[in-house]
């Protein structure tokens, strides 16, 4: 893969007749006087009156059912921090085009120029019913927890903070398979986190739902171990993972650990620290663009381990692209009122199951590989595997129906055929 330099990235975004990465195209003909009369006045009055009578008919007469808002205030842009709402627009446009490319979901990016959580909530809630779902993105911690929870209470469409749950879902799949490869039981492992932001805490909660005992999870941040009685940089979502009543370091926490999860910053972990972990450790160092420890160093220190990063140029990439397009696809297609915990677990399980299947030739070609099979270097599907949607979206839809948040039931086998015709042909 060629390196991405500044000028090539800027040229990519400004090239062509229209800068940026998005445009809007009509889905109905607009070629005749009759077309115009149906699309606008006077014909548009009829669906207006029908939707006033029954708001659910917005799914029948408008684009709502296939439309997601990507909402941010730009306070936590990728690894760049708080750069402001407008500066986040290239990232949000990028998120929107990924929705379209991978799941045929239309998306509009909305950048809210405010660091006040109440303003973000008010603006999003006021426009929320225009969309089939809300994808929150790049909002800093701890405000992101409050914003998401309030919007989930206020809106009757799925609200999903991808920085939290997207990472957690993919990580859950990778961990499930890594434990199978290493022969460890999820209820027995010790897990250590480097990082206590949105992605780390959501991942820790997701692991608890998947079977890791809460008391087996140790969280470290820039101040060290999160422990009972600590007052610096604490908030409730972090405090619920406190361990012990004394300060500690990441190096101390890693002794006899089975799993390391890095969602923090580059080069915080040394080979010597990894050597103190248990036999056959699972090491997911996911800081981007540079992980907590370089892949080569981790592999050299622990050749018996399952090692992954957030990068596409190494094995076992834990990438949110494996989640959000297909989670929303399943949620939208059953008109779910929420993306709940059952749907998140179902997404993790579907991804884990897909990674155990034979890898088709088109995936190998896309990554320049001669072969790839389930094992130490392949515990999670590749993002360019076109089968992901056929496994994940139906699993999410099924979980929505079983958990009671779906408003439009589907027959899952037929739904999978519909997806295949829509996305793969």
Six token digits for residue 386: 């076109």
Rg (CA), the chain: 22
Handedness of CA 82, 83, 84, 89 (dihedral sign): negative
Compute CA distances 244 → 154, 202, 227, 250, 406, whole Å: 37, 21, 5, 14, 42
Q: Is 40 a catalytic residue?
A: yes
CA distance 175 to 183: 12
Name beta bridge partners: 341: none
Q: What is the DSSP string of 78-142?
A: TTTB---TGGGHHHHHHHHHHHHHHH--EEEEEE-----HHHHHHHHHHHGGGSSEEEE-S--TT
Whether the ω angle into residue 172 lies within 30 degrees of 0, i.e. cis, is no
Question: What does the CA dihedral 225, 229, 231, 234 come to, rounded to 10 degrees?
Answer: 60
Q: What is the DSSP string of 374-423?
A: SBTTBSS--TT-TTHHHHHHHHHHHHHHHHT--SS---HHHHHHHHHHHH
Name which of 281, 289, 277, 291 is nearest 194 in CA terms: 291
**Cβ 286 vs Cβ 318: under 8 Å:** yes
**Cβ 158 vs Cβ 188: under 8 Å:** no
Name beta bridge partners: 124: none
Catalytic residue among 21, 64, 89, 95: 95
Six token digits for residue 313: 């140029």
Name which of 340, 330, 341, 308 is nearest 391 in CA terms: 330
**Cβ 255 vs Cβ 186: under 8 Å:** no
CA distance 251 to 282: 16
For the annotated catalytic residues, the residue numbers are 40, 95
């Amino acid at each position: 893969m060629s390196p991405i330099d500044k000028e090539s990235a800027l040229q990519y975004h400004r090239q062509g007749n229209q800068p940026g990465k998005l445009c809007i195209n009509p889905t109905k003909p607009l070629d005749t006087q009759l077309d115009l009369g149906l699309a606008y006045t006077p014909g548009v009055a009829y669906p207006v009156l029908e939707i006033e009578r029954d708001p659910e008919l917005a799914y029948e007469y408008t684009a709502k059912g296939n439309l997601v808002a990507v909402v941010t205030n730009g306070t936590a842009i990728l690894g760049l921090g708080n750069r402001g709402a407008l500066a986040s627009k290239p990232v949000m446009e990028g998120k929107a085009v990924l929705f379209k490319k991978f799941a045929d979901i239309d998306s509009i990016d909305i950048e809210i120029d405010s660091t006040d959580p109440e303003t973000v909530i008010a603006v999003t809630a006021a426009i929320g019913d225009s969309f089939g779902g809300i994808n929150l993105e790049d909002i800093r911690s701890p405000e992101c927890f409050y914003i998401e929870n309030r919007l989930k209470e206020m809106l009757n469409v799925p609200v999903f903070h991808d920085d939290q749950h997207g990472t957690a879902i993919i990580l859950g799949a990778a961990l499930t398979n890594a434990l199978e490869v290493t022969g460890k039981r999820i209820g027995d492992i010790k897990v250590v986190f480097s990082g206590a932001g949105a992605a780390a805490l959501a991942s820790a909660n997701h692991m608890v739902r998947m079977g890791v005992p809460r008391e087996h999870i140790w969280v470290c941040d820039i101040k060290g171990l999160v422990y009972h009685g600590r007052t610096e940089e604490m908030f409730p979502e972090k405090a619920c993972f406190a361990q012990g009543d004394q300060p500690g370091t990441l190096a101390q926490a890693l002794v006899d650990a089975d799993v390391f999860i890095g969602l923090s910053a580059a080069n915080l972990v040394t080979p010597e620290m990894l050597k103190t972990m248990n036999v056959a450790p699972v090491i997911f160092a996911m800081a981007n663009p540079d992980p907590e420890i370089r892949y080569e160093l981790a592999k050299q220190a622990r050749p018996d381990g399952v090692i992954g990063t957030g990068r596409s140029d190494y094995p076992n990439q834990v990438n949110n692209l494996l989640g959000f397009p297909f989670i929303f696809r399943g949620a939208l297609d059953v008109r779910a009122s929420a993306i709940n915990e059952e749907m998140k677990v179902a997404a993790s399980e579907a991804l884990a199951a897909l990674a155990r299947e034979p890898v088709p030739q088109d995936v190998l070609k896309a990554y320049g590989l001669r072969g790839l099979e389930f094992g130490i270097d392949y515990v999670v599907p590749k993002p360019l595997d076109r089968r992901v949607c056929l496994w994940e979206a139906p699993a999410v839809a099924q979980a929505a129906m079983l958990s009671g948040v779906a408003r439009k039931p589907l027959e899952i086998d037929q739904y999978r055929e519909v997806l295949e015709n829509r996305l793969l042909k």
